[in-house]
């Protein structure tokens, strides 16, 4: 009796979240792909349906004949989309590199801190993550504006005599992404650096290795899993970022998340925005798979 | 120890934390600004908080946000904990690779894709967009974060406790509620809090999946920010930050007390 019951609960533990994710995460992608093959229509929903099962199998086959790759053709014809994809990847890559540059010394400092204050430092890194993403991006508008706090400070101290134009440039986007995603970079770096055996460094130095080359020969290679995890955690979401380029980058910035948003909300073109999403997903499939493998490996090690 | 925690390390940490916290501190300070200009200090005033509470649209949005947050965080915690159990306890079942993929992918999936795909699903099955669809969407993306948090606790869990309980005749369900659950409870609570914060914070997925009558606070803030920065928004943000800060600090105090209690119990057990 209890055995049968426990077999059922075992099944349910797996089945419930499995079915939920299947229905609300995987199937929606199939629908996105399907709609990216349909044509725009002035109706609600604004596309002609493809692959309805209402007409039975023969209807299905004739509908497959009506699949249209026009939306994808359209993406290749208008240079706007290609440029948006390229500039998203470039902006995300530069921001990821900058985040690594800023995050590494912080993570290293934390890992070498006295063990008693490490939990507090960790808490302080995580805390900003709990405050709203939107609020943190919004806070930078007041700082970076031409008449904002940064310019007031620099003008007041006489370092510059003309206000710097930062808001609505790529620099503002870099600052926004580095700032918003910094905890994602620091945490995996910290957990890699904290595990490291620092007597290795001492041994290297005793043998006459200068500190900088000891860093590149020992510390950095050993922290590489953290570097990879951190970079993926920043890069992947940054490519599709919408809020930061929209609020800090101004109207001239091309990023694919923004293009998708405008295509959907301003042009109300659902099939084209679906096609944009499919291409973006294809672009990110390889990094996402890397990320999953890293996660799975970390899980195996923790076991 | 002190030699290795050099001046360089301390400088890096101080500068890093200044970078992380200064923008938020400035935002809070300027919410008490008398002047309507967000960047020029005109004296201390709480008038923006008063006008905030008289702003009916903003208050309605706050109410929607809190309701969606409470419902979605609770359900996401249940589903996420189940997913974490499935991932750590069952190393072999059909489709496990797909399952772990579906748990980890939403963590990094760009929100515009998740939002668009969920919207198209809701349209395809004929659900009216509003409070209900908003909640479903929030459950879906936040349950994966809960799963990761709970899973990291489960991995270090000592299975022999459970085996002992079962050897003594406790049925699996009872074992779970009496042995496993109390041990992983702190992780479940932080999972719930993370899910709640993610929910009340979300703009992009909400914009896609909500309909007329279900505007959330971030959507309201976003539409006002696009028109310009106002102290009223600073005040709204400050209140949100305050709520989250109180929650996080309370949770860490509770955790600390449990930890102290546990150490005391262990010492008592060793002496006895």
Q: Which residues on B lie below 8 Å from A138 (Cβ)?
A: 27, 221, 225, 229, 233, 237
Lowest-confidence pick of A18-22, A143-147, B138-142, B184-188:
A143-147
Alpha carbon distances (Å) from A267 to A242, A250, A260, B28, B115: 17, 19, 10, 37, 17
Is the predicted pLDDT of residue A56 greater than 70, yes or no? no
Is residue A259 within 8 A of residue A276, CB to CB? The reply is: yes
pLDDT in tens, B167-212: 888 887 888 888 888 888 888 988 998 899 889 889 999 999 998 8
With contact defined as beta carbons under 8 Å apart, do A288 and A235 qualify? Answer: no
Residue A47, pLDDT score:
67
Nearest CB to B244; choose among A130, A145, A291: A130
Domain for residue A148, yes or no? yes
Residues on chain B touching A9 (C-beta within 8 angstroms): 172-173
Whether residue B44 lies inside any domain: the answer is no
- Bridge partners of A47, per DSSP, are A40
Contact A71, A267 (CB under 8 A): no
Interface-testing mutation among A3, A23, A31, with chain B (most B C-beta atoms within 10 A): A31
Q: Which of A45, A142, A273 is the closest to B30 by Cβ?
A: A142
Give the number of domains in chain B. Answer: 1
Nearest Cα residue in chain B from A277: B113
Q: What is the pLDDT of residues A80-105, one digit of tens each?
A: 888 999 999 999 999 999 999 999 99
B116 or B227, higher pLDDT: B116
> Which DSSP helix (H) or strand (E) runs through A210?
none
Per-residue pLDDT, B113: 92
Write the pLDDT tens digit of every residue in A180-231: 999 999 999 998 998 888 888 888 888 888 888 888 888 899 899 899 999 9
Mean pLDDT, all residues of chain B: 85
Tokens linked to B206: 């909400």
Q: A5-14, A43-52, A275-284, B233-242: which has the minimum mean pLDDT?
A: A43-52
Query: What ipTM goes with this model?
Result: 0.84
The model's confidence at residue A11, banded by pLDDT at 50, 70 and 90, is: confident
pLDDT above 90 covers a percentage of chain B that reads 26
B30 with B44: CB under 8 angstroms? no
Asked if B89 has any chain A CB less than 8 Å from its own CB, the reply is yes
Q: Model-level pTM?
A: 0.85
pLDDT tens per residue across span B21-61: 988 888 888 888 887 766 677 778 888 888 888 888 888 89
Chain A contact set for B207 (CB, 8 A): 265
Domain count, chain A: 1
B39 DSSP assignment: T
Which of A131, A186, A198 is the closest to B244 by Cβ?
A131
Could you say which of B17, B99, B116 has the minimum Cβ distance to residue A273? B116
Task: State the residue range of the domain holding B242.
Answer: 53-262
Reference A223, options A195, A247, A251, A185; nearest CA is: A195
Q: Which of B11, B15, B6 is nearest to A198 (CA)?
A: B6
Q: Taking 60 as the threshold, does the pLDDT of residue B1 lie above it? A: no
Q: Which candidate, A66, A5, A69, A2, places its Cα nearest to that of A36?
A: A69
Say which range, A36-45, A226-235, B99-108, B159-168, has the weakest mean pLDDT: A36-45
Q: Cβ contacts (< 8 Å) between B248 and chain A: which residues?
A: 127, 130
Confidence grade of residue A151 (pLDDT, cut at 50, 70, 90): confident
B208 touches chain A (CB under 8 A): yes
In a domain, residue A77? The reply is yes
Contacts B172 to A, Cβ<8 Å? 2, 6, 9
Residue matched to tokens 């795909």: B117
Cis peptide before A45 (omega within 30 of 0): yes
- Interface test mutation site (partner B, options A24, A121, A202, max chain B beta carbons within 10 A): A24
**Chain B residue nearest residue A123, CA to CA:** B252
Taking a C-beta distance cutoff of 8 angstroms, is the pair A107, A186 a contact? yes
Any domain includes A195: yes
B267 found inside a domain: no
Reduce the DSSP state of residue B33 to 3 states and report it.
Answer: strand
Please give the helix or strand (H or E) that residue A225 lies within, else none.
helix A224-239
- Mean pLDDT is lowest, of A43-57, A79-93, A135-149, B34-48, for A43-57
Q: Give me the residue from A32, A110, A133 closest to B120, CB to CB.
A: A32
Using a pLDDT cut of 70, give the percent of chain A over it. Answer: 87
Which residues numbered 146-205 in A keep a CB inside 8 Å of some CB on B?
A: 147-149, 152, 179, 182-183, 186, 198
Asked if the Cβ–Cβ distance from B248 to A127 is below 8 Å, we say: yes
Burial bucket for residue B168 (CB in 10 Å: 0-12, 13-18, 19+):
exposed
Q: Say yes or no: B255 contacts chain A, CB-CB below 8 A.
A: no
Whether A124 and chain B come into contact, CB under 8 Å, resolves to yes
Say if CB B35 and CB B48 are below 8 A apart.
no
Closest to B179 measured CA to CA, from B157, B149, B156: B157
Angle at B270 between CA B264 and CA B272, to 5 degrees: 100
- Residue A239 has what pLDDT? 92
Q: What's the residue count for chain A?
A: 303
For residue B164, what are the contacts with CB-CB under 8 A and spacing of at least 6? Answer: none
Asked, for residue B2, whether it belongs to a domain, the answer is no
Alpha helices in chain B (DSSP H): 7-30, 47-53, 56-89, 96-108, 111-125, 131-155, 159-167, 172-175, 181-201, 204-209, 217-227, 231-271
Q: Which residue of A has its CA nearest to B113?
A: A277
CATH of residue A99: 1.10.3720.10
> Helix (H, G, I), strand (E, B), or coil: what is residue B44?
strand
Size of interface A-B (CB pairs under 8 A): 255
pLDDT confidence of residue A146: 81
- Between chains, do A32 and B248 touch, taking CB under 8 Å as contact? no
Q: How far does the CA of residue A22 sit from the closest CA of chain B (Å)? A: 8
B14 assigned to some structural domain:
no
In a domain, B241, yes or no: yes
Residue B175 is part of a domain; what is its CATH number?
1.10.3720.10
Chain-wide mean pLDDT for chain A? 84
Structural domain of A290: 71-302
Residues 45-104 of A with CB under 8 A from B: 45, 102-103
Instruction: Give me the DSSP letters along A78-136.
Output: SHHHHHHHHHHHHHHHHHHHHHHHHHHHHHHHHHHS-TTTHHHHHHHHHHHHHS-HHHH
Residues of chain A contacting B20 with CB distance shorter than 8 Å: 124-125, 128, 179, 182-183
Confidence (pLDDT) at B2: 43
B4 assigned to some structural domain: no
Stronger pLDDT, A253 or B258, i.e. the higher one: A253
**In-domain check, residue B38:** no
Residue B3 forms part of a structural domain? no
Residue corresponding to tokens 């995890």 = A229
> In the predicted model, is pLDDT for residue A125 greater than 70?
yes
The residue in chain A having the minimum alpha-carbon distance to the alpha carbon of residue B229 is: A142
């Amino acid at each position: 009796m209890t055995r049968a019951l426990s077999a059922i609960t075992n099944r349910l533990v797996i089945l419930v979240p499995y079915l939920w994710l299947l229905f609300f995460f995987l199937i929606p992608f199939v629908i996105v792909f399907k709609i990216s093959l349909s044509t725009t229509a002035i109706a609600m929903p604004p596309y002609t349906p493809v692959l309805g099962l209402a007409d039975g199998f023969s209807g299905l086959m004739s509908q497959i004949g009506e699949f249209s790759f026009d939306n994808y053709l359209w993406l290749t014809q208008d240079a706007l989309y290609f440029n948006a994809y390229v500039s998203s990847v470039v902006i995300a890559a530069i921001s990821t590199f900058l985040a690594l540059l800023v995050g590494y010394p912080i993570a290293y400092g934390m890992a070498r801190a006295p063990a008693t204050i490490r939990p507090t430092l960790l808490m302080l890194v995580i805390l900003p993550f709990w405050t709203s993403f939107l609020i943190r991006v919004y806070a930078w508008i007041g700082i970076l504006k031409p008449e904002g706090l940064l310019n007031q400070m620099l003008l007041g101290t006489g370092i510059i005599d003309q206000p710097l134009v930062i808001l609505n440039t790529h620099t503002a986007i870099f600052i926004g992404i580095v700032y918003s995603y910094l905890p994602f970079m620091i945490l995996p770096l910290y957990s890699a650096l904290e595990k490291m055996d620092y007597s290795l460094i001492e041994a290297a130095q005793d043998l006459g290795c200068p500190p900088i080359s000891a860093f590149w020969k020992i510390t950095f290679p050993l922290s590489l899993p953290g570097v990879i995890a951190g970079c993926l955690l920043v890069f992947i979401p940054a490519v599709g970022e919408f809020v930061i380029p929209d609020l800090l980058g101004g109207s001239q910035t091309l990023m694919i998340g923004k293009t998708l948003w405008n295509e959907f909300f301003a042009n109300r073109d659902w099939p084209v925005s679906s096609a944009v999403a499919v291409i973006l997903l294809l672009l990110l499939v390889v990094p996402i798979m890397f990320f999953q493998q890293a996660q799975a490996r970390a899980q195996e090690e923790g076991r | 120890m002190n030699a290795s925690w050099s001046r360089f390390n301390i400088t890096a940490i101080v500068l890093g934390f200044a970078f992380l916290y200064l923008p938020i501190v400035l935002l809070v300070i300027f919410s008490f600004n008398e002047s309507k200009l967000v960047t020029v200090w005109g004296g201390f005033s709480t008038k923006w908080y008063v006008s905030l509470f008289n702003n009916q649209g903003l208050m309605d949005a706050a109410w929607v946000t809190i309701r969606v947050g409470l419902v979605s965080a609770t359900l996401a915690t249940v589903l996420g904990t189940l997913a974490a159990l499935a991932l750590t306890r069952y190393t072999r079942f059909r489709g496990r690779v797909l399952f772990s993929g579906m748990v980890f992918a939403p963590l990094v999936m760009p929100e515009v894709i998740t939002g668009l795909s969920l919207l198209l699903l809701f349209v395809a099955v004929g659900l009216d967009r509003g409070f209900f669809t908003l909640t479903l969407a929030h459950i879906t993306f936040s349950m994966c974060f809960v799963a990761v948090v709970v899973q990291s606790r489960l991995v270090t869990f000592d299975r022999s406790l459970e085996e002992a309980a079962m050897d003594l005749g406790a049925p699996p369900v009872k074992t779970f509620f009496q042995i496993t659950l109390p041990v992983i409870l702190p992780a479940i609570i932080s999972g719930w809090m993370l899910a709640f914060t993610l929910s009340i914070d979300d703009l992009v997925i909400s914009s896609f999946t909500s309909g007329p009558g279900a505007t959330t606070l971030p959507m309201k803030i976003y539409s006002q920010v696009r028109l310009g920065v106002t102290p009223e928004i600073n005040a709204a943000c400050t209140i949100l930050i305050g709520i989250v800060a109180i929650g996080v600090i309370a949770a860490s105090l509770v955790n600390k007390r449990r930890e102290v209690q546990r150490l005391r119990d262990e010492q008592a057990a060793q002496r006895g």
